[in-house]
Amino acid sequence: MNAPAEQNWLLTLAYEGGRYSGWQFQPGQSTVQGVLQDRLAALYKSDVPIFGCSRTDAGVHALSQMVTFSPPDRPSIPLENLEKALNDSLPHDIRVRSIERMPPDFHARFNALGKAYSYLIFRGDLRSPFVSGFCWPETSSLALPLMKEAASILTGTHDFTAFSVNSRRPEPDNIRTLYRIEIDEIGQFVLITVIGDGFLYKMVRRIVGFLVKAGKTRIDPEIGRRLLKEKERTTRFDTAPPQGLYLEEVFYTQEALSGYKTRNLPFLELLGLPG
């Protein structure tokens, strides 16, 4: 008899990243991948390798971290029961949103056509304790037209060496395509959504830092064009802090990628609440 075909399941995970040293497993550190692998191992009584779509940094949040894994044959846990079993055992700041069956050759990372990251800036005078861990408080006045001008310079296919903090990558590996950068005002918040085919280490946070500096009218948006051309790393703008960044969506079809539009603050979107 032929052996049963190996199952391939896709798990959609949301987490609040404040307590974790990022997604990727690191010995001696608390990471989201490490916690999830431990819980799966406890349920299946064996190691279960998992593969995430994105290596979010320490303190960064996710609404849709996509994870593929192959469940062992024994014990047999029905897919519809595994979501509850995991959520019952995971800490409160990591939640399984859904689990679905996928073709055997599907991979959460390698099949992704693009990703959307959102970044949240709070512009109010009162630094509410209820949002401080989920945004960048910025009380300075921001000129959104200048931010949008700077964003338009960065869209397209470029070498984003200047917007990465990793200087050891070979030059061709720094080329990425940004399809759109959207900047919206929602109440006292500014929401920046960056949609691209992939991102370098801390690239989105560097882009946000540049846009905020442009919005304060303390840097010419056109400098972005020079940075891209000259691949010049600079300290003229800050890397935005991690707590305002969210891995919002991962796209596996061109239709989903082309039609995506952020409609809400990230944490409200996850709860299904109106903005």
In a domain, 26, yes or no: yes
Q: What is the mean pLDDT of the chain?
A: 90
Residues 64 and 143 occupy one common structural domain: no
pLDDT tens string 75-110: 999 988 999 999 999 999 999 999 999 999 999 999
- Is 131 in the same domain as 262? yes
Active site residues: 57
User: Of 73, 101, 129, which one is at a domain's C-terminal end?
Assistant: 101
Q: How confident is the model at residue 1 (pLDDT cuts 50, 70, 90)?
A: very low
Q: Supply the pLDDT for residue 3.
A: 42
Co-location of 254 and 164 in the same domain: yes
Is 255:120 a contact under the CB 8 Å cutoff? no
Q: Measuring CA to CA, how many Å separate 234 from each of 23, 119, 226?
A: 27, 21, 11
Domain hosting 185: range is: 114-269
Both 145 and 258 in a single domain?
Answer: yes
161 closest CA partner among 174, 144, 173 = 174
Same domain for 188 and 81, yes or no, is: no
CATH number for the domain spanning 82: value is: 3.30.70.580
- Residues 91, 120 within the same domain: no
Verify that 91 and 118 share a domain, yes or no: no
| Residue 206: C-alpha distances to residues 157, 203, 263 (Å) | 17, 5, 23
Q: What is the CATH number of the domain that holds 153?
A: 3.30.70.660
Strand segments, DSSP code E, in the chain are: 9-15, 50-52, 61-69, 94-101, 114-122, 136-137, 156-159, 175-186, 189-196, 245-251
Q: Can you tell me the distance from the alpha carbon of 177 to that of 26, in angstroms, rounded to the nearest whole number?
A: 29
Please check whether residues 124 and 244 belong to one and the same domain: yes
What's the confidence (pLDDT) of residue 6? 82
Q: How many residues does this entry show for the chain?
A: 275
Task: Assess contact for 189 and 135: CB atoms under 8 A.
Answer: yes
User: If residue 85 lies in a helix (H) or strand (E), which one and from where to where?
Assistant: helix 79-89
Count up the domains in the chain and report the number: 2
How much is the pLDDT for 132? 81
Same domain, 29 and 66: yes
Q: Residue for token digits 């959207």?
A: 182
Do 20 and 58 meet the contact criterion of CB atoms below 8 Å apart? yes
| Residues 42 and 125 grouped into a single domain | no
pLDDT digits (tens, 9 = 90+) for 45-60: 999 999 999 999 999 9
Whether the per-residue pLDDT at 168 is higher than 70: the answer is no
